[in-house]
Amino acid sequence: MVKLDSEYNENRNKTIDYMKGIAIFLVVLGHTNFSHVQYIGLFHMSVFFLCSGYCYHEHHSENIKTVCCCIAKKIKGLYIPYVSFNMFLLCLHNLFCKLNIYTNNVGFLGGGRNSLLNADYGKISTYSMNDFIYHTVITLGFADGEQLAGTLWFLRALFEVSIIYVLTDFIARKLKRFRHCFIFITAIIIMAIGCYLNYNSIHIVTGVEETCHYYIFFVIGVFLQKSDLNKLIKPNVFWAVLSFGGLLVSYYVMAHEKISAFTVHMPWFYVTNGVLGEILIFSISKIFMRGNHTEWVAYVGRNSLHIMLWHFLAFKIVSFVYIKLCGLPPYYLASFPVLNVDYLWIAYTLVGVVVPLGAAVLSHALIRKLSISHSAAF
């Protein structure tokens, strides 16, 4: 197969890359005005946590030194990108206000022509120096960040999930044969805490309720790593159709009973849907891997962080073109994440994936060129 980037490693788990590629596509689609976004919400984010758990290495919890090394890696791989991207957007905040990417126009809250605007997040004004200091502090504290960095709650949750697991596993090792039992019971307790927080509408600034919600999927991923997943689930069209059908039933129940896919009052509901979604994505990934010219799916997966970071900003390209073509007021560009135009979800999805991916290709090429130039100089 053709290698699309210099970061490709033969030792990578290609199935995970394919799963992440499909999942990030669903994330972008889920942020558009696609009419069945609630179906995607049943499972799309749990896939990332399961993949992260599946890639977890047990040696991280062997001793204090390895635990500290693991935490240091998570700071570098999750905390630093979270802070860096938020600070980048923070520095551009006032410029974005001038460009109407953010707006404080009073007409914005009115809904606009035929309610084209998504104004749920309200008006956003320019920042004073005190505002910049305040938002810098909350960003460094892993709290809420800039609007265009909204998807980075995932990095925060994955950071917290990873730290909790490595500490739990470090303690569990002392229990020897009860190790896995302790880990499982801890996961159930954490899930119960998340349900309690959501049921009582308790929101903690650092998103602890999200961490509690997704921790169980990370643990499932770790346990699946210890077994042969291909023997547990024969990835084929049958499993794909079965899991897809199961999710359709949940989608119907959710619509009939007016249950939100993002509400976790009933743990059995979201855990079941998460597992069904993971079977679906796993089966589709294996089907893709057997096909020709599908390496691009794995490449998308390897660059899923780029897409997660930049797709909200990429959406503005589609909104800008539509606003210009239709002669709409400039402040419509602040509609977040997209304009409420039914057929635009296709354009938003394509641009939301392709533009960040193109930027990743260019950055990889530039880094490779600079590396070669540096080597030649010495």
3-class DSSP string for 117-140: CCCCCCCCCCCCHHHHHHHHHHHH
Show the tokens assigned to 363. Answer: 């950055």
- Percent of the chain past pLDDT 70, that is, above it, reads 87
Give the predicted TM-score (pTM) of the model: 0.88
pLDDT of the residue at 154? 93
Q: What is the pLDDT of residues 20-43, one digit of tens each?
A: 999 999 999 999 988 888 888 888
Over the range 46-57, which residues count as b (16 or more CB within 10 Å of their CB) and which as e? bbbbbbbbbebe
Taking 90 as the threshold, does the pLDDT of residue 98 lie above it?
Answer: yes
pLDDT at residue number 228: 64
In this prediction, residue 113 has a pLDDT band, given cuts at 50, 70 and 90, of low
Q: CA–CA distance from 119 to each of 150, 153, 333 (Å)?
A: 15, 20, 11
Per cent of the chain over pLDDT 90 is: 50
The stretch 256-264 carries a mean pLDDT of 55
Q: What is the mean pLDDT of residues 163-185?
A: 92
| pLDDT over threshold 90, residue 355 | yes
Q: Which of 92-96, 259-263, 292-296, 319-323 has the lowest mean pLDDT?
A: 259-263
pLDDT tens readout for residues 216-239: 999 999 988 877 666 666 667 888
